[in-house]
Amino acid sequence: GAGVSQSPSNKVTEKGKDVELRCDPISGHTALYWYRQSLGQGLEFLIYFQGNSAPDKSGLPSDRFSAERTGGSVSTLTIQRTQQEDSAVYLCASSPTLNSPLHFGNGTRLTVT
């Protein structure tokens, strides 16, 4: 079946611009996660959605970052006034329940020039 889909796969933007990254989780998965991976680094947790509960935003690095999940399905990660240090691969994952393994998309590579 279809896996987690992220778009765009690559995004180049100028410093100061806003960007939106999209994640389509696997159908029926109630949990959705965003992670960030800088070049040569491990994964950094950003935000977690579970059903209709309030999201855990504790990993968002600044107030320029926000995310929403509409209808319990598609999620959008928004970065306002992008900075060069925001350049990274942004990965989305979903899982059917809290205890299930995560299924990751292939990420969006963001480059801020």
* Chain residues that interact with another protein, rule: CB under 8 A: 4, 31, 33, 35, 42-43, 45, 48, 50, 56, 59, 91, 93, 98-99, 101-107
Least Cβ distance, residue 106 to another protein (angstroms): 5
Nearer to another protein, 59 or 80 (CB): 59
Nearer to another protein, 57 or 80 (CB): 57
Least Cβ distance, residue 17 to another protein (angstroms): 25
Least Cβ distance, residue 81 to another protein (angstroms): 26
DSSP state of 81: S
Least Cβ distance, residue 85 to another protein (angstroms): 19
Helix-, strand-, coil-residue percentages of the chain, each rounded to 5: 5, 50, 50
Cβ neighbour number for residue 22 with a 10 Å cutoff = 15
